[in-house]
Amino acid sequence: MKRRSTWLGSLLLGIALLTPSPGVQADANAQAEDKGQETFRVYIQSEKSDFIQQAKNKYGSRWNLGDHSFSTSVNQSQFEALQNNKNLSVQKVSKVKVNILGGSNQTVTPEDQTPWGIEAMYEDPAIKATSGGENIRVAVLDTGVKTNHQDLKNRSEQCKDFTGLLLPLKDGSCYDLNGHGTHVSGSVLADGGDSGTGVYGVAPEAKLWAYKVLGDTGTGFSDDIAAAIRHAADEGKRLGVNTIISMSLGSEGKDELIAEAISYANKNGTLVVAAAGNSGPDENTIGYPGGHPDAVGVAALENTFENGSYRIADFSSRGNPATDGDYVIGERDVEVSAPGKDILSTWKDGTYNTISGTSMATPHVSGLAAKIWAENPSLSNADVRKELQNRAKAKDILGGLHAAQGDDIASGFGFPTVK
Protein backbone atom coordinates (compact mmCIF):
# COMPACT_ATOMS: atom_id res chain seq x y z
CA MET A 1 0.00 0.00 0.00
CA LYS A 2 1.23 3.41 -0.87
CA ARG A 3 -0.10 6.86 -0.12
CA ARG A 4 -1.61 8.69 -3.05
CA SER A 5 -1.66 12.43 -3.66
CA THR A 6 -4.05 13.31 -6.44
CA TRP A 7 -4.13 17.10 -6.57
CA LEU A 8 -1.64 19.87 -6.14
CA GLY A 9 -1.95 23.59 -6.78
CA SER A 10 0.08 26.68 -6.05
CA LEU A 11 -0.62 28.92 -3.08
CA LEU A 12 -1.81 31.86 -5.13
CA LEU A 13 -3.98 29.68 -7.28
CA GLY A 14 -5.49 27.99 -4.22
CA ILE A 15 -6.43 31.32 -2.69
CA ALA A 16 -8.02 32.54 -5.89
CA LEU A 17 -9.92 29.31 -6.47
CA LEU A 18 -11.63 29.45 -3.11
CA THR A 19 -13.26 32.78 -3.79
CA PRO A 20 -17.03 32.20 -3.85
CA SER A 21 -19.32 33.97 -6.29
CA PRO A 22 -22.45 34.63 -4.20
CA GLY A 23 -24.08 37.06 -6.61
CA VAL A 24 -23.84 34.72 -9.59
CA GLN A 25 -24.95 31.78 -7.43
CA ALA A 26 -27.96 33.71 -6.19
CA ASP A 27 -28.99 34.53 -9.78
CA ALA A 28 -28.76 30.87 -10.76
CA ASN A 29 -30.83 29.81 -7.75
CA ALA A 30 -33.42 32.44 -8.47
CA GLN A 31 -33.76 31.23 -12.05
CA ALA A 32 -34.19 27.68 -10.82
CA GLU A 33 -36.82 28.66 -8.27
CA ASP A 34 -38.69 30.66 -10.92
CA LYS A 35 -39.23 27.40 -12.74
CA GLY A 36 -40.89 26.00 -9.62
CA GLN A 37 -38.33 23.32 -9.02
CA GLU A 38 -36.38 22.57 -5.88
CA THR A 39 -32.64 23.14 -6.15
CA PHE A 40 -29.87 20.86 -4.92
CA ARG A 41 -26.09 21.03 -4.69
CA VAL A 42 -23.85 19.58 -7.43
CA TYR A 43 -20.23 19.76 -8.51
CA ILE A 44 -19.20 20.06 -12.11
CA GLN A 45 -15.91 18.95 -13.65
CA SER A 46 -14.18 19.18 -17.00
CA GLU A 47 -10.63 18.79 -18.20
CA LYS A 48 -11.08 21.86 -20.41
CA SER A 49 -11.17 25.24 -18.70
CA ASP A 50 -13.34 26.79 -21.44
CA PHE A 51 -16.20 24.41 -20.71
CA ILE A 52 -15.86 25.01 -16.99
CA GLN A 53 -16.04 28.76 -17.48
CA GLN A 54 -19.09 28.46 -19.71
CA ALA A 55 -20.83 26.34 -17.07
CA LYS A 56 -19.96 28.86 -14.35
CA ASN A 57 -21.38 31.68 -16.44
CA LYS A 58 -24.60 29.75 -16.94
CA TYR A 59 -25.17 28.16 -13.53
CA GLY A 60 -23.15 30.28 -11.12
CA SER A 61 -20.44 29.08 -8.75
CA ARG A 62 -20.55 28.45 -5.01
CA TRP A 63 -16.99 27.16 -4.60
CA ASN A 64 -14.18 26.91 -7.12
CA LEU A 65 -12.49 23.67 -6.10
CA GLY A 66 -9.40 23.44 -8.27
CA ASP A 67 -8.59 24.13 -11.88
CA HIS A 68 -11.34 21.96 -13.30
CA SER A 69 -14.09 21.70 -10.68
CA PHE A 70 -16.68 23.90 -8.98
CA SER A 71 -19.90 23.49 -7.04
CA THR A 72 -23.25 25.19 -7.53
CA SER A 73 -26.99 24.63 -7.10
CA VAL A 74 -29.29 23.53 -9.91
CA ASN A 75 -32.80 22.16 -10.36
CA GLN A 76 -33.73 18.79 -11.84
CA SER A 77 -34.07 20.08 -15.40
CA GLN A 78 -30.68 21.76 -15.23
CA PHE A 79 -29.15 18.64 -13.72
CA GLU A 80 -30.45 16.50 -16.56
CA ALA A 81 -29.12 18.98 -19.11
CA LEU A 82 -25.71 18.84 -17.49
CA GLN A 83 -25.78 15.04 -17.53
CA ASN A 84 -26.35 15.17 -21.27
CA ASN A 85 -23.41 17.51 -21.83
CA LYS A 86 -20.54 15.30 -23.03
CA ASN A 87 -18.00 17.99 -22.18
CA LEU A 88 -18.88 18.04 -18.49
CA SER A 89 -19.11 15.61 -15.59
CA VAL A 90 -21.75 16.39 -12.95
CA GLN A 91 -22.49 14.72 -9.62
CA LYS A 92 -24.63 15.56 -6.64
CA VAL A 93 -22.73 16.83 -3.60
CA SER A 94 -22.86 14.35 -0.72
CA LYS A 95 -23.70 15.14 2.88
CA VAL A 96 -21.44 14.63 5.89
CA LYS A 97 -22.27 14.50 9.60
CA VAL A 98 -20.56 14.66 12.98
CA ASN A 99 -19.41 11.48 14.68
CA ILE A 100 -21.21 11.61 18.03
CA LEU A 101 -23.04 9.10 20.19
CA GLY A 102 -26.13 9.65 22.30
CA GLY A 103 -25.98 10.59 25.96
CA SER A 104 -24.50 13.56 27.75
CA ASN A 105 -23.87 14.92 31.22
CA GLN A 106 -23.92 18.72 31.28
CA THR A 107 -22.53 20.74 34.17
CA VAL A 108 -21.96 24.43 34.89
CA THR A 109 -18.65 23.85 36.64
CA PRO A 110 -16.25 21.09 35.59
CA GLU A 111 -15.71 18.41 38.18
CA ASP A 112 -12.18 17.91 36.92
CA GLN A 113 -10.10 20.56 35.17
CA THR A 114 -7.95 17.86 33.59
CA PRO A 115 -10.44 15.14 32.53
CA TRP A 116 -9.37 11.54 32.28
CA GLY A 117 -8.45 11.89 28.61
CA ILE A 118 -5.98 14.66 29.38
CA GLU A 119 -4.51 12.69 32.27
CA ALA A 120 -4.11 9.72 29.95
CA MET A 121 -2.46 11.81 27.23
CA TYR A 122 0.02 13.22 29.75
CA GLU A 123 0.32 9.92 31.64
CA ASP A 124 -0.16 11.85 34.86
CA PRO A 125 -3.30 11.31 36.99
CA ALA A 126 -2.28 14.22 39.24
CA ILE A 127 -1.76 16.83 36.51
CA LYS A 128 -3.39 20.19 37.31
CA ALA A 129 -2.77 22.10 34.06
CA THR A 130 -1.37 21.47 30.60
CA SER A 131 0.97 23.39 28.31
CA GLY A 132 2.29 23.58 24.77
CA GLY A 133 1.18 24.29 21.23
CA GLU A 134 2.62 27.81 20.96
CA ASN A 135 2.50 29.31 17.44
CA ILE A 136 0.59 26.31 16.02
CA ARG A 137 -2.79 26.82 14.37
CA VAL A 138 -5.49 24.17 14.69
CA ALA A 139 -8.39 24.53 12.26
CA VAL A 140 -11.43 22.79 13.74
CA LEU A 141 -13.90 22.02 10.94
CA ASP A 142 -17.18 21.35 12.66
CA THR A 143 -20.54 22.82 13.76
CA GLY A 144 -18.87 26.06 14.75
CA VAL A 145 -17.40 27.10 18.10
CA LYS A 146 -18.55 29.25 21.00
CA THR A 147 -15.41 31.33 20.74
CA ASN A 148 -16.32 33.49 23.77
CA HIS A 149 -16.39 30.47 26.09
CA GLN A 150 -14.12 31.37 28.99
CA ASP A 151 -11.77 28.49 28.19
CA LEU A 152 -11.54 29.29 24.45
CA LYS A 153 -11.79 33.07 24.08
CA ASN A 154 -8.04 33.62 24.44
CA ARG A 155 -7.29 30.90 21.90
CA SER A 156 -9.56 31.99 19.06
CA GLU A 157 -7.78 33.63 16.10
CA GLN A 158 -10.08 32.95 13.14
CA CYS A 159 -13.84 32.46 13.07
CA LYS A 160 -15.43 31.68 9.68
CA ASP A 161 -18.68 30.22 8.39
CA PHE A 162 -18.61 28.18 5.18
CA THR A 163 -22.32 27.23 5.24
CA GLY A 164 -24.08 30.42 4.16
CA LEU A 165 -26.73 30.29 1.45
CA LEU A 166 -26.19 33.55 -0.41
CA LEU A 167 -22.74 34.30 1.00
CA PRO A 168 -20.86 30.98 1.30
CA LEU A 169 -17.91 32.36 3.27
CA LYS A 170 -18.61 34.75 6.14
CA ASP A 171 -15.66 36.01 8.15
CA GLY A 172 -16.19 36.70 11.86
CA SER A 173 -19.11 34.26 12.21
CA CYS A 174 -18.83 30.69 13.52
CA TYR A 175 -21.70 30.35 16.00
CA ASP A 176 -22.34 26.88 17.41
CA LEU A 177 -25.92 25.94 18.29
CA ASN A 178 -25.09 22.24 18.28
CA GLY A 179 -22.22 22.03 20.80
CA HIS A 180 -20.11 19.44 19.01
CA GLY A 181 -17.56 21.88 17.59
CA THR A 182 -17.16 23.69 20.89
CA HIS A 183 -16.60 20.38 22.66
CA VAL A 184 -13.86 19.11 20.36
CA SER A 185 -12.14 22.52 20.36
CA GLY A 186 -11.86 22.36 24.14
CA SER A 187 -10.12 18.99 24.02
CA VAL A 188 -7.55 20.43 21.62
CA LEU A 189 -6.66 23.71 23.31
CA ALA A 190 -8.88 24.87 26.19
CA ASP A 191 -6.72 26.94 28.54
CA GLY A 192 -8.66 26.84 31.80
CA GLY A 193 -9.98 30.38 31.35
CA ASP A 194 -8.81 33.64 32.90
CA SER A 195 -9.98 32.49 36.32
CA GLY A 196 -8.23 29.15 36.00
CA THR A 197 -11.43 27.31 36.93
CA GLY A 198 -12.19 25.77 33.52
CA VAL A 199 -10.88 22.71 31.73
CA TYR A 200 -7.59 22.22 29.92
CA GLY A 201 -7.00 20.73 26.49
CA VAL A 202 -3.89 18.96 25.30
CA ALA A 203 -2.22 22.08 23.82
CA PRO A 204 -3.59 25.24 25.51
CA GLU A 205 -1.13 27.61 23.82
CA ALA A 206 -2.20 26.73 20.27
CA LYS A 207 -4.41 29.12 18.29
CA LEU A 208 -7.90 28.13 17.16
CA TRP A 209 -9.28 28.57 13.66
CA ALA A 210 -12.99 27.88 14.12
CA TYR A 211 -14.42 26.92 10.72
CA LYS A 212 -18.14 26.23 10.69
CA VAL A 213 -18.79 23.66 7.94
CA LEU A 214 -21.82 21.90 9.43
CA GLY A 215 -25.28 23.13 10.32
CA ASP A 216 -26.98 23.12 13.69
CA THR A 217 -28.13 19.49 13.28
CA GLY A 218 -24.55 18.36 12.72
CA THR A 219 -24.84 17.73 8.98
CA GLY A 220 -23.36 19.57 6.04
CA PHE A 221 -22.26 19.43 2.41
CA SER A 222 -18.96 18.00 1.26
CA ASP A 223 -18.16 20.97 -0.99
CA ASP A 224 -18.28 23.33 2.00
CA ILE A 225 -15.93 21.02 3.89
CA ALA A 226 -13.58 20.69 0.92
CA ALA A 227 -13.49 24.47 0.55
CA ALA A 228 -12.65 24.90 4.24
CA ILE A 229 -9.86 22.32 4.04
CA ARG A 230 -8.28 24.13 1.12
CA HIS A 231 -8.77 27.48 2.82
CA ALA A 232 -7.01 26.31 5.99
CA ALA A 233 -4.06 25.02 3.98
CA ASP A 234 -3.87 28.28 2.03
CA GLU A 235 -4.07 30.35 5.21
CA GLY A 236 -1.24 28.37 6.73
CA LYS A 237 0.89 29.09 3.68
CA ARG A 238 -0.12 32.74 3.54
CA LEU A 239 0.69 33.36 7.19
CA GLY A 240 3.74 31.11 7.28
CA VAL A 241 2.44 29.06 10.21
CA ASN A 242 2.32 25.34 10.90
CA THR A 243 -1.30 24.25 10.59
CA ILE A 244 -3.33 21.23 11.68
CA ILE A 245 -6.83 20.44 10.43
CA SER A 246 -8.98 18.54 12.94
CA MET A 247 -12.15 16.92 11.58
CA SER A 248 -14.54 15.04 13.84
CA LEU A 249 -17.01 14.34 11.05
CA GLY A 250 -17.53 11.73 8.41
CA SER A 251 -19.54 9.58 6.03
CA GLU A 252 -19.55 5.90 5.17
CA GLY A 253 -18.29 6.36 1.62
CA LYS A 254 -15.31 8.23 0.21
CA ASP A 255 -16.14 11.69 -1.10
CA GLU A 256 -14.09 12.87 -4.08
CA LEU A 257 -14.18 16.57 -3.20
CA ILE A 258 -13.00 16.02 0.38
CA ALA A 259 -10.41 13.44 -0.70
CA GLU A 260 -8.84 15.84 -3.21
CA ALA A 261 -8.89 18.67 -0.66
CA ILE A 262 -7.10 16.50 1.92
CA SER A 263 -4.42 15.59 -0.61
CA TYR A 264 -4.09 19.29 -1.47
CA ALA A 265 -3.66 20.21 2.21
CA ASN A 266 -1.18 17.40 2.78
CA LYS A 267 0.93 18.45 -0.21
CA ASN A 268 0.91 22.03 1.04
CA GLY A 269 2.33 21.18 4.47
CA THR A 270 -0.83 20.88 6.56
CA LEU A 271 -1.40 17.91 8.87
CA VAL A 272 -4.92 16.44 8.64
CA VAL A 273 -6.42 14.48 11.57
CA ALA A 274 -9.86 12.86 11.27
CA ALA A 275 -12.23 10.60 13.19
CA ALA A 276 -12.46 6.91 12.29
CA GLY A 277 -16.23 6.77 12.90
CA ASN A 278 -18.64 5.16 15.34
CA SER A 279 -19.75 2.06 13.42
CA GLY A 280 -17.65 -0.57 15.22
CA PRO A 281 -16.75 -3.15 16.26
CA ASP A 282 -16.95 -5.02 12.94
CA GLU A 283 -14.16 -5.06 10.37
CA ASN A 284 -14.03 -2.51 7.55
CA THR A 285 -16.38 -0.05 9.25
CA ILE A 286 -14.03 2.95 9.22
CA GLY A 287 -15.57 5.99 7.56
CA TYR A 288 -14.20 8.95 5.65
CA PRO A 289 -12.28 11.21 5.80
CA GLY A 290 -10.65 9.17 8.60
CA GLY A 291 -10.04 6.33 6.15
CA HIS A 292 -8.15 8.53 3.68
CA PRO A 293 -4.42 7.66 3.45
CA ASP A 294 -3.44 11.34 3.78
CA ALA A 295 -5.39 11.78 7.04
CA VAL A 296 -4.48 10.47 10.49
CA GLY A 297 -7.46 8.22 11.28
CA VAL A 298 -8.24 8.17 15.01
CA ALA A 299 -10.02 5.44 16.99
CA ALA A 300 -11.55 5.86 20.46
CA LEU A 301 -10.33 4.50 23.80
CA GLU A 302 -12.41 4.12 26.95
CA ASN A 303 -11.26 4.60 30.54
CA THR A 304 -11.08 0.87 31.17
CA PHE A 305 -8.01 -1.34 31.36
CA GLU A 306 -7.93 -4.73 29.68
CA ASN A 307 -4.88 -6.91 29.03
CA GLY A 308 -2.65 -4.25 30.57
CA SER A 309 -3.74 -1.30 28.39
CA TYR A 310 -6.65 1.02 27.75
CA ARG A 311 -9.52 -0.63 25.91
CA ILE A 312 -10.76 0.27 22.43
CA ALA A 313 -14.44 1.24 22.65
CA ASP A 314 -16.84 -1.15 20.94
CA PHE A 315 -18.41 1.72 19.01
CA SER A 316 -15.09 2.75 17.48
CA SER A 317 -14.92 1.82 13.78
CA ARG A 318 -12.41 -0.81 12.73
CA GLY A 319 -10.12 -0.77 9.72
CA ASN A 320 -9.16 -3.03 6.86
CA PRO A 321 -8.07 -6.55 7.99
CA ALA A 322 -6.18 -7.10 4.72
CA THR A 323 -3.59 -4.55 5.86
CA ASP A 324 -3.43 -5.65 9.49
CA GLY A 325 0.05 -5.66 11.02
CA ASP A 326 2.05 -3.99 8.26
CA TYR A 327 2.60 -0.56 9.91
CA VAL A 328 1.82 1.07 6.57
CA ILE A 329 -1.12 3.44 6.21
CA GLY A 330 -3.32 2.85 3.20
CA GLU A 331 -6.97 3.17 2.31
CA ARG A 332 -9.40 2.49 5.19
CA ASP A 333 -6.70 2.06 7.85
CA VAL A 334 -6.98 3.13 11.49
CA GLU A 335 -3.74 4.90 12.36
CA VAL A 336 -3.80 5.73 16.09
CA SER A 337 -6.17 5.77 19.06
CA ALA A 338 -6.92 8.22 21.87
CA PRO A 339 -9.46 8.84 24.66
CA GLY A 340 -12.97 9.08 23.23
CA LYS A 341 -15.52 7.74 25.70
CA ASP A 342 -17.09 9.91 28.42
CA ILE A 343 -15.00 12.96 27.58
CA LEU A 344 -15.61 16.20 29.50
CA SER A 345 -15.04 19.42 27.58
CA THR A 346 -16.40 22.88 26.76
CA TRP A 347 -20.02 23.31 25.57
CA LYS A 348 -22.08 25.64 23.37
CA ASP A 349 -23.67 27.70 26.18
CA GLY A 350 -20.50 28.36 28.16
CA THR A 351 -20.87 25.30 30.37
CA TYR A 352 -19.31 21.84 30.07
CA ASN A 353 -20.54 18.48 28.81
CA THR A 354 -19.48 14.83 28.80
CA ILE A 355 -20.06 12.97 25.53
CA SER A 356 -18.52 10.08 23.59
CA GLY A 357 -17.34 9.19 20.09
CA THR A 358 -14.30 9.04 17.86
CA SER A 359 -15.11 12.74 17.48
CA MET A 360 -13.82 13.15 21.01
CA ALA A 361 -10.70 11.06 20.37
CA THR A 362 -9.63 13.07 17.32
CA PRO A 363 -8.95 16.42 19.08
CA HIS A 364 -6.69 14.70 21.61
CA VAL A 365 -4.44 13.65 18.73
CA SER A 366 -4.71 17.07 17.08
CA GLY A 367 -3.63 18.67 20.35
CA LEU A 368 -0.71 16.28 20.73
CA ALA A 369 0.39 17.06 17.17
CA ALA A 370 0.30 20.76 18.07
CA LYS A 371 2.51 20.15 21.11
CA ILE A 372 5.01 18.14 19.09
CA TRP A 373 5.14 20.71 16.30
CA ALA A 374 5.54 23.62 18.72
CA GLU A 375 8.52 21.91 20.31
CA ASN A 376 10.01 21.15 16.88
CA PRO A 377 8.78 23.91 14.51
CA SER A 378 11.17 22.94 11.71
CA LEU A 379 9.49 19.56 11.26
CA SER A 380 7.33 18.94 8.21
CA ASN A 381 3.76 17.70 8.50
CA ALA A 382 5.03 14.26 7.47
CA ASP A 383 7.63 14.39 10.25
CA VAL A 384 4.98 15.20 12.86
CA ARG A 385 2.84 12.36 11.60
CA LYS A 386 5.78 9.99 11.85
CA GLU A 387 6.37 11.11 15.44
CA LEU A 388 2.72 10.39 16.27
CA GLN A 389 3.15 6.91 14.83
CA ASN A 390 6.37 6.26 16.76
CA ARG A 391 4.79 7.33 20.03
CA ALA A 392 1.78 5.15 19.29
CA LYS A 393 3.99 2.12 18.73
CA ALA A 394 5.43 2.66 22.21
CA LYS A 395 1.94 2.43 23.77
CA ASP A 396 0.38 -0.67 22.24
CA ILE A 397 -3.33 -1.22 22.84
CA LEU A 398 -4.32 -4.78 23.69
CA GLY A 399 -7.84 -4.33 25.06
CA GLY A 400 -11.04 -4.52 23.04
CA LEU A 401 -12.37 -6.46 20.08
CA HIS A 402 -9.78 -6.89 17.29
CA ALA A 403 -7.06 -5.28 19.41
CA ALA A 404 -3.79 -7.18 19.12
CA GLN A 405 -0.06 -6.76 19.50
CA GLY A 406 1.37 -4.32 16.97
CA ASP A 407 -0.56 -2.66 14.16
CA ASP A 408 -4.21 -3.76 14.31
CA ILE A 409 -7.55 -2.76 12.81
CA ALA A 410 -8.92 -1.51 16.13
CA SER A 411 -6.26 0.81 17.58
CA GLY A 412 -3.90 1.18 14.63
CA PHE A 413 -0.30 1.66 15.74
CA GLY A 414 -1.39 2.29 19.35
CA PHE A 415 -1.93 5.24 21.67
CA PRO A 416 0.42 8.24 21.20
CA THR A 417 1.02 10.27 24.35
CA VAL A 418 2.86 13.41 25.45
CA LYS A 419 5.75 11.56 27.02
Tell me the catalytic residues.
142, 180, 359
The rounded distance, in Å, linking the Cα atoms of 170 and 236 is: 19
Distances (CA, A) of 175 to 147, 229, 307, 334: 8, 19, 43, 31
Q: b/e per residue, 73-90, with b = 16+ CB within 10 A?
A: bbbeebbeebeeeeebeb
End-to-end CA distance of the chain: 30
Distance (Å, whole) CA 418 – CA 311? 19
Closest by alpha carbon to 218, among 272, 264, 166, 182? 182
Question: What distance in Å separates the CA atoms of residue 232 and residue 211, rounded to the nearest whole number?
Answer: 9
C-alpha dihedral sign at 360, 361, 366, 370 = positive
The rounded distance, in Å, linking the Cα atoms of 304 and 116 is 11
Give residues with Cβ within 8 angstroms of 54, minimum separation 6. none
Separation in Å, CA 88 to CA 49, 66, 69, 328: 11, 15, 10, 37
What is the rounded distance in angstroms from the CA atom of residue 201 to the CA atom of residue 345? 8
φ, ψ of residue 346 to 5 degrees: the values are -65, 155
